[in-house]
Amino acid sequence: MKCDLTKSYHSHDTCYPLDTSAQEEDWSLSQIFGHALKGSCPLANDGIDPVCINVPHARQVYSSDGTKEHKDKSGFRRCFKLATDSDFELILPQQEISEKAPLKQPLLYAERSFIGYGQERGGVQAILTNPSLTEAVDFVYMESLPWFMKLYLHTLKAKLSNGKGHSEAKGKANEVIQEMYYRPALDRKRGTQLEIRILIPANSTVILTYDFEKAILRYTEYPPDANRGFDIAPAVITIGSDVSIRTTTLLLPLPTPDFSMPYNVIILTSTVLAMGFGSVLNLLVRRFMAADEAEMWDVRAIRLKVAAILAGVIRKFRKKNQKQE
């Protein structure tokens, strides 16, 4: 997000966003992929431009030296023929431009979210919409779930509705699922894999729902930020052989134990052991005597200490006298 720095209230935690709808953002291949392209592919056929972008011809585009640029007659597409012995970099600076490249209608809209509540069970809902008014769309919907997210396959349901929001009959809703592959999870070994081939009629929406159970992990299996939750990989939708769509990732909260209990147990146990060991050690080592005898022992101890100190002082004086003589 780009902030308006001229605002008086702008700070590190307060941002007034700038309107960049009329501006094309700057980007490059190195910013997106982390490095430039390592030249053209040696297996590519001659005469085929390997890199193409869909931008208006008025858009400024800078490419590496030795690259041949070819602009399409449509006015919204340009391709680049790469050199075989040099890196290829593509840079598009920030630019204000009113002309926009036309976008094709997407083949499918997909959104996925958690439903339900509680720490024991939950559910997943996937809303799949076919925006075409004339053609049906056939695709494969794949879920790859971790082992601690135990799927109940018998709860899988498909609800079909047309573009006007009316639900179809149950029989037609069941017809949208053409094929299905399910591989159950094994605890701490592998996750669940679910693949469904779906056929959505034109201008219709399918809502897939299923329930799952949350497993309780061992306390050593939780990450340091256990209360944040666990990332669930996105669902992968494959349309034909060349189009793939990925939904957003999900954040799954699992029931977490009281991580302070081990420390409480250690402290309590150590305290009890210290008290017991200390008492036994005092009984074994400490010497018991009467009060008057203790006073006599104290006087004798003081006399012995004083005598030892005096003897040490006398020895030092004697050594000094001997050295002087």
Per run of 10 residues, the mean pLDDT along the chain (length 325 residues) is 80 80 80 85 65 88 88 88 85 84 88 90 95 93 95 92 64 78 94 95 93 90 88 94 90 87 88 89 76 62 78 82 72
Same domain as 115, residue 60: no
Same domain as 85, residue 138: no
Q: Torsion angle, CA of 92/94/98/100, rounded to 10 degrees?
A: 40
CA 105 vs. chain centroid, Å, equals: 31
List of residues 6+ apart from 309 with CB closer than 8 A: none
**Is the residue at 6 inside a domain?**
no
**Is the residue at 227 inside a domain?**
yes
Same domain as 127, residue 42: no
Q: Determine whether 124 is exposed, middle or buried from the number of CB atoms within 10 Å of its CB (0-12, 13-18, 19+).
A: buried
Same domain as 229, residue 204: yes
**Is the residue at 162 inside a domain?**
yes
Q: Output the pLDDT for position 262.
A: 80
Whichever domain contains 185, its CATH number is 2.60.40.740
**Is the residue at 137 inside a domain?**
yes
**Is the residue at 144 inside a domain?**
yes
Type of residue numbered 1: M
Task: Please say which residue of 207, 234, 252 terminates a domain.
Answer: 252
Gap between the Cα atoms of 149 and 3, Å rounded: 40
Gap between the Cα atoms of 295 and 155, Å rounded: 86
pTM: 0.63
Q: Output the pLDDT for position 214.
A: 93
Task: Please say which residue of 252, 283, 299 terminates a domain.
Answer: 252
Q: How would you list the strands of the sheet with 68-71, edge to edge?
A: 51-53, 78-81, 68-71
DSSP E strands, the chain:
23-24, 27-28, 51-53, 62-63, 68-71, 78-81, 90-92, 95-96, 109-115, 121-130, 137-145, 149-162, 177-183, 192-200, 204-214, 230-232, 236-239, 243-246, 250-252
Structure-block tokens of residue 225: 């930020």
Task: Please say which residue of 252, 279, 314 terminates a domain.
Answer: 252
Q: Output the pLDDT for position 202.
A: 92
Task: Give the other-Cβ count within 10 Å of 172's Cβ.
Answer: 13
Same domain as 125, residue 92: no
Gap between the Cα atoms of 262 and 85, Å rounded: 62
Structure-block tokens of residue 273: 């052991």
**Is the residue at 69 inside a domain?**
yes
Same domain as 117, residue 91: no
Gap between the Cα atoms of 17 and 273, Å rounded: 62
Same domain as 91, residue 113: no
**Is the residue at 278 inside a domain?**
no
Gap between the Cα atoms of 229 and 121, Å rounded: 15
Same domain as 118, residue 87: no
Same domain as 241, residue 126: yes
**Is the residue at 17 inside a domain?**
no
Tell how strand 149-162 and strand 204-214 pair up: antiparallel
Q: Output the pLDDT for position 129.
A: 95
Evaluate whether 37 touches 86 at the Cβ level (below 8 Å). Answer: no
Q: How many domains does the chain have?
A: 2
Q: Output the pLDDT for position 294.
A: 59
Same domain as 244, residue 150: yes
Q: What share of the chain is helix, strand, coil (3-state, %, to 5)?
A: 25, 35, 40
| Domain that includes residue 85, residue range | 23-96
Q: CA quadruple 196, 201, 205, 209: dihedral positive or negative?
A: negative
Same domain as 89, residue 39: yes
Gap between the Cα atoms of 26 and 325, Å rounded: 97
Same domain as 199, residue 129: yes
